[in-house]
Structure 1
Amino acid sequence: MTSQTFDALCIGNAICDVFAHVEEDFLARESLVKGSMRLIDTEEAVRLYEKMGQTTRISGGSAGNTAAAVASLGGKTAYFGKVAKDDLGDAYRHDMRGTGVHFETPALIDGVPTARSMILITPDGERTMNTYLGACIELSENDVDPQVVAASAFTYMEGYLWDPPAAKRAFLKAAEIAHGAGRKVSLTLSDSFCVDRYRSEFLTMMRDGTIDLLFANEHELRALYETADVDTAIAAVREDCALTALTLGAEGAMAISREKTVRVPAQKVDEIVDLTGAGDLFAAGFLVAQSRDYDLSMSAELGCLCAAEVIGHVGARPERALRQIAAEGGFSI
């Protein structure tokens, strides 16, 4: 077996996040579904941006946020994601490497621009995402470095990346390499609408062992099993996947294996400012803990600790070193 170099390899859409605070009626006027993620074209991206008012730009993308958080925890992480050779792409690469993430995916030359997601934050902290994928859809099997995959305890992919066919093939190639090297493969469902598009494929990968660890929130898990009852969904996923990490918002989180289920409370937060990235940072904590052979309770607790940091400020990446927060919480990373 190749020696372990990385706690997690994260594969996802390399996206620059553009944040704006809006009122509830803004969503109504634009006919946007609160809390959803929709894909938009260049024309819609320009139109919506003009209406957003004051904005903040931060390098993001679901798996990119997770990779940055793993590094902030003191873990070692790598990232596969496609950016263009443009100003946003150069800034994204600089930001990722600056956090300590190994990011060597070649840039797209003479193609579409780097992706960006316009994130509308309502007063309750909920986020509604409008995403232009741009260069993201060009991620392919050629961008999968077998040595990096084989050296990663977990290969982690965001469900959003299931939309572009080439990226789907890239993930399946990475999963095969990971399992061949004795490593584990993880998927986050990302969004209920994403689940609706690819339910059967996600279930197949869980049932055939392609996915060893599933990440989901309550809404996504219920969508996966087309049920209004979360207990029914939990019972089903216990049979379908070796391990599931389920986030429950203010109610904390659960870790569900075929042998046992554990539940941990959410960490207290003084003020919820922005829920963007909460699931991404939970995944970072859980992945690092699992790569270090922590038990399920400690893995879920570390995930909740990381999630609590990011919802206290705008942006989906930690402002304070997660390793220090973890140490204060009794974790040694």
Structure 2
Amino acid sequence: MTDTRLDVLAIGNAIVDVIAAADEDFIEREGLIKGGMQLIDAERAEELYSRMGPGREISGGSAANTVAGAAALGARCAFVGQIADDQLGAVFAHDIRAHGVRFDTPARAGDPPTGRVLILVTPCGERTMNTLLGASHFLPSESLDHDLIRDSAILYLEGYLWDPEQPRAVMRQAIDIARAAGRKVALTLSVNFIIERHRADLQGLIDQGLIDILFVNEEELICLTQDDDRESALAKVSAKVPLLVVTLGADGALAIQNGQRFTVAAEPVERVVDTTGAGDLFAAGFLAGISRGRGVEDCLKMGAIAAAEVISHYGARPEADLKALVAQKLG
């Protein structure tokens, strides 16, 4: 890649995860859908939090997790996301900087508070997420450093943040700046309900050739194309995106680049503790590989290694030495 100050500049939700163990009965009593993600308001957040078991506060946010993982693998990364001037905002800012990620977005005064996700993890490792987006959806255009976007090899956008109007406009502006500078634009679609609400918009980005790298899981791919046949859906999207990356859970992942398909098996994990952030860290490994000029097959393997590490413990940020794990497995 052309020499740049940064490898990956991400824009996404600035959120702190509050993670607690829960049994199946608790999920049912609270009227939650196991393994799902729902948006909640401040009142519901307080109510649910009061009934949760002991929790751990760990900074999260999909794109923030990705750049934290990519930085752990040696990539030069920055993050743009809105926090509030409160305790959780300070936690988020400290944590992402401690991972070696540049974070310059000023904290926002007043309500709403910094976003948080109440994550309930059942014994099987499945996570049920309840999200208060808070300040993250008030990201202003002033948060964009145009020169930093121009000096970043890859602009990485979080689909979750495409829903609210204000940050969506910011991301559109960032796409224009990145493409004018000849940089690559990567997008993760994040979740089905975002696709359903903004399918025409997201399809438009793809049809116009504005997305260079697209990250989806199999469900999101089917939701995007509204085609129940995976092969047909892959053909439709890969014809318009230079590099399509599809995670397949326990079946690993695949990528299609200019018509050529690559596959990787999932890395073995002794015990799945918490699947929070598996897709985020897969993207981290993949992007770190791309930024270092590795081939697509190696990038898939790096993604699988990073994802396996993060599901072996609570939280969506790496705890083990990802560089050492990659060196051990790939050299």
Task: Give the TM-score normalised by structure 2.
Answer: 0.97
- Residue 215 of structure 2 is aligned to residue 215 of structure 1: yes
Partner in structure 1 of residue 256 of structure 2: 256
- By how many angstroms is 1:145 displaced? 0.7
Q: What letter is aligned with 1:118? A: L
Instruction: Tell me if the contact between 1:253 and 1:266 (Cα under 8 Å) persists in the aligned partners.
Output: yes
C-alpha distance 2-86 of structure 1, shift in aligned 2 (>3 A): farther
- By how many angstroms is 1:200 displaced? 1.5
- By how many angstroms is 1:165 displaced? 0.7
- By how many angstroms is 1:3 displaced? 4.4
Q: 1:1-333 residue pairs with structure 2 within 5 A? A: 3-331=3-331
Instruction: Tell me if the contact between 1:2 and 1:181 (Cα under 8 Å) persists in the aligned partners.
Output: no
**5+ unaligned residues in a row in structure 1: which ranges?**
none
Instruction: Tell me if the contact between 1:36 and 1:191 (Cα under 8 Å) persists in the aligned partners.
Output: no
C-alpha distance 194-36 of structure 1, shift in aligned 2 (>3 A): farther
- By how many angstroms is 1:227 displaced? 2.8
- By how many angstroms is 1:140 displaced? 2.1
Task: Give the TM-score normalised by structure 1.
Answer: 0.96
Cα deviation 1:73-113 (Å, max 9, x = unaligned): 11110000000111111111111111100000111023321
The CA distance in 2 between the partners of 1:272 and 1:110, in whole Å, is: 39
Higher mean C-alpha deviation, range 83-92 or range 29-38: 29-38
Find the residue that maps to 2:16 and give its secondary structure. Answer: strand
The CA distance in 2 between the partners of 1:89 and 1:274, in whole Å, is: 24
- By how many angstroms is 1:218 displaced? 0.8
Instruction: Tell me if the contact between 1:2 and 1:151 (Cα under 8 Å) persists in the aligned partners.
Output: no
Instruction: Tell me if the contact between 1:22 and 1:121 (Cα under 8 Å) persists in the aligned partners.
Output: yes
Higher mean C-alpha deviation, range 298-307 or range 234-243: 234-243
Instruction: Tell me if the contact between 1:67 and 1:78 (Cα under 8 Å) persists in the aligned partners.
Output: yes
Q: What letter is aligned with 1:244? A: L
Structure 1 runs (4+) deviating above 3 angstroms are none
CA RMSD of superposed structures (Å):
1.4
The CA distance in 1 between the partners of 2:45 and 2:159, in whole Å, is: 22
The CA distance in 2 between the partners of 1:93 and 1:260, in whole Å, is: 40
**% same residue:** 47
